[in-house]
Structure 1
Amino acid sequence: MNMIQAINSAMDVMMERDDHVVVMGEDVGYFGGVFRATAGLQKKYGKTRAFDTPITEIGIIGVAIGMGAYGLRPVPEIQFADYIYPALDQLVSEAARLRYRSNGDFTAPITVRSPYGGGIFGGQTHSQSPEGIFTHVSGIKTVIPSTPYDAKGLLIAAIEDNDPVLFLEPKRIYNGPFDGRYDRPAKNWTAHPASEVPEGYYRVELGKAATVRAGEAVTILCYGTMVHVVASTIEELGIDAEIIDLRTLVPLDIEAIETSVKKTGRCMIVHEATRTSGFGAELSALVQERCFYHLEAPIERVTGFDTPYPHSLEWAYFPGPVRLREALKKIMKD
């Protein structure tokens, strides 16, 4: 399966297992979604369990929160992560706080799916990476898979979770490891089966990172598309790097990060989102706090630029092999 098929399979499995699981969003019903991630679900489960909504993100999330509070497990889709901002108040003020405000009487077991990041030349309105906004909000879990196997297992775990989960899907790798422009998939991935996705039910636990590649020279922390970019670059350079795929940003597997950095003594952080206040800043602070006396060089960050997302120049915006090589040379030299 590619990632789209794996995500579709996860929703199919959960809708079959649990009548309380419903899928909703713009064009997710009859049409099957812009990227076809919900294809066939309405035909199989009917219009009351896989249904289209008006073009109103605040309405989609507000209704989903109410449905979740009264016993359902909604899986609303926001067509692109860039469109999620009108729903920010519902997610932050209602979904994230519902359990606490009600003293545990109500929860918001909703899983908000959304394609995010670049890869389709979507520019400023279809290519943003807003994960840092949500990792700042207590009460929301943030998940970003990098392979079809993880996408299915993590989505199943998210749907079963009793708290709100933001499930961001890197559209650049929807149909495979890469679209073949500048990057190549890594050849030797032992921990990440890229295509072998079981048909039935399985879970990938939230809050557990994956070691994509074991190494001794430097720890590289990444997630989503950047896992592939890092792995292919490391292969080309021949550096004995340990690559950690975070998989979930909140909850974060800080133990795995700490163990790796203390072993290698060096740390590089890679993400597609803009640099300032990106999640890499939090990672850098955590590594500094927990691993300071083990560090042999300053922590390096390779990220998107602090500019509005470019349209025709998106491949220059992406952290890629050239920028990764420069950062690695710097960190290995110190």
Structure 2
Amino acid sequence: MQFYFRKREFPARKNPPWKRKAFYLFPAVIFPLLLLYILPPQPESREPSPPPITIDIESFKKRPPSFTSIERTIRKNETLYGLLLSEGLSTPEVVEVLRVMEQVYDPRRILPGSKIRLSKNGDGLRRIEYLYNGLDGVFVEKEGEHWKAGKFEVPRKVVLVAKEGRIESSLYEAGRKAGIAPKAIMELSDIFAWQIDFSTDIRKGDTFRLLYEVIMAEGKPIGVGKVVAAEVVNAGRPHVAIHYRGEYYDPEGKALRRVLLKSPLRYRRISSYFTKRRYHPILKKYLPHHGVDYAAPYGTPVESAGDGRVIFAGWKRGYGYYVAIKHNATYTTA
């Protein structure tokens, strides 16, 4: 009996997918862990911490106080020199202060009644200020061991103010009663000087309105600017002026300026009118008076009626001091 044996082949066993993945992941996890265990730990890198803040209380207490300002008025028979001496400056310091101030402003113009602002701290007087026209001033300030001088401007702003009034006697009195600054009243008279003679043409009951600039500094009015617009109703006839680029025009755009003024003076009474019969104050009899006499205080400026050429200036019998001005081929005034 014969036996035959056949070799039996078995299929190769395959690992499941999850085992194959675990086989590859195992070294990737173990090796970094071993390195961390074997290698020595590295010192942590930190930014240097800022030094602690310390406050020297004693030096803080010794710090000089902040500036304080006072205002002094130069008294009668007192000078700036004497005022600074009374504030603790030595004679050499006062001399230096006046010397450097003279480079920008003459200290001799600072008269009694002037107000001086002084700024001090723990070291004494540090700054001197003098406002000489309400808008501009001069200062002298100490820097180190020496003094320096300069000029400064007061911060300012311009506001518009509207006023109106009714004339009972004169434009000036009515304007002051309405609270208008004297300079604005004078400007109003100058604007309409070619249309209205405010000495002879004004009637009781005439009205006026104006819009003008007021210059403010530190919350107080310190000056008057230009008149922006104005209206004067004279004998029922309105006269309107509008400012534009330094000149005044009516609503139709015509310039108010004419060849001749209607009056050479402002707000003055007339002592004698043009008449054929006037009682002569010297000859004591009635004579013709071919002119208009204006009465004004001594020193009042007399204006020319217009642009022209002086053809005579001197004493003339019957007139006194006489000035004749030729304006053009037609008009000559005196």
TM-score (norm 2): 0.20
Structure whose CA Rg is larger: 2
Q: Which has the higher contact order (CA 8 A, sep 6+)?
A: 1
The structure whose residues are more often helix, as a share, is 1
* Bigger share in strand: 2
How high is the TM-score relative to the length of structure 1? 0.20
